[in-house]
Structure 1
Amino acid sequence: MLKLLPSFIFIFLFIDLYSKIRITPNREDRVFHTGETISWQITIDSVEKYDSLRYAIKPGALSTLEEGMLKVKKGKSNISYTFDKPGSVILEIRWGSPDRWQNRVVDGGICDPEDFQLSSKRPDDFKEFWSEKIAELEAIPMNSWMQLEPMEDTSVVYAKVLMDNIRGSKIQAQMAMPNNCEKYPALLIVQWAGVYGLSRDWVINRAREGWLVLNINPHDLPIDMDPEFYQDKSKNELKNYPALGNEYRDSSYFLRMYLSCYRGVEFLKQYPSWNGKTIVVTGDSQGGMQTIVTAGLHPDITAAMALVPAGFDMLGPELDRKGGWPQWYQQIENKDSSAVREASRYYDAANFVPDISCPVLVGVGLLDETCPPQGIIAGMNQIDKQKKMIYLPQSQHQDR
């Protein structure tokens, strides 16, 4: 597990070293207390290259509290915001060059994160609902099938995996392990958003480190087709897939995805090369959401690592803050908005957190506008023990 930590913490840090416009806050860690002020110095290297510089202050990364033209003197400007309650804030600087190309840089901070609260409570029948769905899954035989693939590196075994899932769907995955008769800790890798194939290196590199690895495609799609195949799916039947079936809790696209993770754990548990002790789940963004969900649903997970996890605080806009991707709250076109938002509560990653019994490591980007920090931290505040939160003060979402 320790071998995974350096890449988990550092690879996805966003540090724009070459920006023409730099924002420097008065506190490097960007963590404040109520009543304190975050102030930013904006440095513009070549102000004559820009025909406009606008700023916006967005508490909760949602609504704009203040905006206007940036007043620049000798290449510098200053903006401040005082926290009057626990929360988060984003400062956005936008500009246009003479050819009208637009760009932006952001900074931000959080205040009293230990006091963050969720926008809604967990539904009273939440555990009952998911117990029923797991029972639906368990009524279907796994029927796992493996196809071994030739490897130049004979120290590792690699295979494509197929399993049955609910309602006629399949789980398509890849796995790898060291090529010997020993027993190994298991690692379940779950994927970020989008429609794409799986790289063999994602499992082979971990297998070389001594893991029995399973990597699940979030969609019921082959894992190794040409890029054009996935592009076509993304433009057609899987276009905006998070909104598919989102009006009802029993039809959400995420139902089979979450249950795929549960079955993936069951697959690893029954595999002969598992050491019978350790099962770790890890992922980022949508994969971080699946990580938290899996740790909450499956009692045999022994550790979970989630980077900038999606799916937290779905009803955040009701408290005037942005919810986590997929921003389910706004996915209401031609639908009953109240039904969509009620269904979202059964898929909100935060509602799985109280059932997590294993150690969990969560990385939060303090400048993340895709999976905003306030909802993630509020969700994780529901547990105290065996939890480590890592605040990434200069990180936007993943590597963007």
Structure 2
Amino acid sequence: MEPLSLLLCAGVLFAGVSAPAQNTIGWSIPDVPSHAQARTAAVKVSVVPDRSGWTYALGEPVRFNVAVTADGQILAGASVTYKVGPEMLPAEEKTVALPAGGLVIEGGTLNEPGFIRCSATVVVNGRRYRGVATAGIAPESIKPTQREPEDFDAFWAAAKEDLAKAPLEARRTLMPEACTDKIDVYHVSFRTVGAANWRGLASRIYGILCVPKAPGKHPAVLHVPGAGVRPYAGNRELAERGAITLQIGIHGIPVNQPQEIYDQLSTGALSGYPLFNLDNRDTYYYRRVYLSCLRANDYLVSLPEFDGENLLVTGGSQGGQLSIITAALDPRVKALAALYPAYCDVTGYLHGRAGGWPHMMNRTLDGQPSPHASEAKIATTAYYDVVNFARRLKVPGYFAWGYNDEVCPPTSMYAAYNMITAPKELLLALETGHTTIPEETAIINDWIATKLGLE
């Protein structure tokens, strides 16, 4: 599969000039008309591995080609600071002057599968510009470091029994202002795992439901969220193509409130939620989250508009994590599409390589062992790591990420992906970081539409 590319450039603004001006690293800005008040030079730091496809064999040397340009012209003599080494691990910083023909950086090699990353930065008129590239070394052979608990299946079977004790108690409210000529849009909620409190209030999950107005039965898509605390508007594109869609939040709060509420929660009560109760597998924050994704499916399949057969789950980052987990735990799911999944092989850092978001096992900034690298917390992660759910996938999956992802490192994602024995496809947009470019979105939505028989 040919990888997609995302080309980045940045601009720097200079005060109005009427004659050639020299900046701090010696390059000239051409004359501009006397009426011009400012001018923007497109500054770009390009870092590219010396091999097409950015992928190498074990032991094969890697080189990175670095160029710094303004308006397409090489900034010869620019001071370039670079780092190169295994992704996400500390590396020595070096500074050199950029040769007229560009800079070649020796990246070394790896004798075990993994990734080597090179980043380069320059400062132009007080503004910092950065480029990054990542080379894969036999990524298809990366194996996980995370252990597989003997009672993994029993643990989740018991958890699902606990969920089944909670009645659905679904509620939905039409959002007339959000409806279109093709879909009706609702704010919905339903019960999830956990007993009611002393006031009789039980835990609920909230989301945005979009239902096609066209008569007949429809397939359904569960859209699970990336990390954070935010409102949601629903997956309208797939709904307008003919699918019932449900986009949920995971924190048990309505998803149609003013932004200020979510901002306050994300910096207050919910700050650091992926670490809440990490030392106890039975009370860890993600237990309720994982089970609530299954409860969302309970709601979808209960809808009279559902076709009774076609159910798919999708999401990116934490949503990619939840997509894989939901598909592994729920046999009603017929397919999944996961973008740059989080929480993959989080123990990688304990074995001298990159681990997945939320990086709880990474060393501190001063090089000390992570305060979360305790026996109890490490043990809990094994029950929640995507790696152990990936082993259990039985339905087709579509996956997408880039080599330059610095939030969900490719080492961690491949550790999970390589464990999948079900039918799978991987879309690589090599240059992308933790983001999705429009071409990817279109390809993924078309794949989903094909799986569900949509237009």
Q: TM-score, normalised by structure 1?
A: 0.90
1:204 to 2:236 alignment: yes
Larger Rg: 2
More helix by share: 1
List gaps (5 residues or longer) in structure 2.
11-42, 195-201, 438-455
The two structures, once aligned, show a CA RMSD in angstroms of 2.3
Q: CA deviation at 1:51?
A: 7.2
- Match of 1:25? 49
* Residues 157 and 55 of structure 1: CA distance in aligned 2, closer, same or farther (over 3 Å): same
Inter-partner Cα distance in structure 1 for 2:77 and 2:237 = 45
1:5 matched to which residue of 2?
none
C-alpha deviation, 1:164, in angstroms: 0.7
| 1:1-400 correspondence to structure 2 within 5 Å | 14-18=6-10, 19-45=43-69, 52-64=79-91, 66-74=92-100, 76-81=102-107, 82-99=109-126, 101-151=127-177, 153-167=180-194, 168-199=202-233, 202-330=234-362, 337-398=374-435
**Percent of aligned pairs with the same residue?**
28
User: 1:390 and 1:399, CA in 2 relative to 1: closer, same or farther beyond 3 A?
Assistant: closer
The aligned length equals: 386
How far is 1:70 from its partner? 3.0
Give the CA deviation at 1:286. 0.7
Superposed CA offset, 1:73-106 (max 9, x none): 116111122333321111111333453x444221
CA distance in 2, matches of 1:49, 1:24: 18
CA contact (8 A) 2:182 2:212 kept: yes
Contact 1:285 1:398 in 2 (8 A): no
C-alpha distance in 1, partners of 2:345/2:129? 29
Q: Distance in 2 between matches of 1:280 and 1:119?
A: 29
Higher relative contact order (CA 8 A, sep 6+): 1
Distance 1:390 1:180 in 2: 32
Instruction: Measure, in 1, the Cα distance between the counterparts of 2:98 and 2:181.
Output: 62
- Measured after TM superposition, the shift of residue 158 of structure 1 is 1.3
Change (3 A) 1:38 1:145: same
Match of 1:251, SS state, is coil
2:118–2:133 CA contact under 8 A, matched in 1: yes
Q: Distance in 1 between matches of 2:430 and 2:351?
A: 24
CA–CA distance in structure 2, aligned partners of residues 76 and 385 of structure 1: 44
The residue type equivalent to 1:341 in the other structure is I
- Cα offset for 1:117? 0.5
Alignment partners' CA distance in 2, 1:192 and 1:207: 20
User: CA offsets per residue over residues 169-223 of structure 1, 9 Å max, x none?
Assistant: 2100110111143001110001111111002xx3232211000111111221111
Q: How far, CA to CA, are the matches of 1:32 and 1:336 in structure 2? A: 32
In the alignment, the residues of structure 2 paired with residue 265 and residue 145 of structure 1 have an alpha-carbon distance, to the nearest angstrom, of 15
Contact 1:50 1:98 in 2 (8 A): no
SS at the partner of 2:361? helix
Closer/same/farther in 2, CA of residues 354 and 223 from structure 1, 3 Å limit: same
Q: What whole-Å deviation, never above 9, does each CA across 1:255-309 have from its counterpart, x for those lacking one? A: 1111111111121112111112211100000100000110111111111000111
1:289-340 deviation digits (Å, cap 9, x = unpaired): 0001101111111110001111101101022122111113249987672222
Q: Moved runs in structure 1, 4+ residues, more than 4 A?
A: 46-52, 330-336
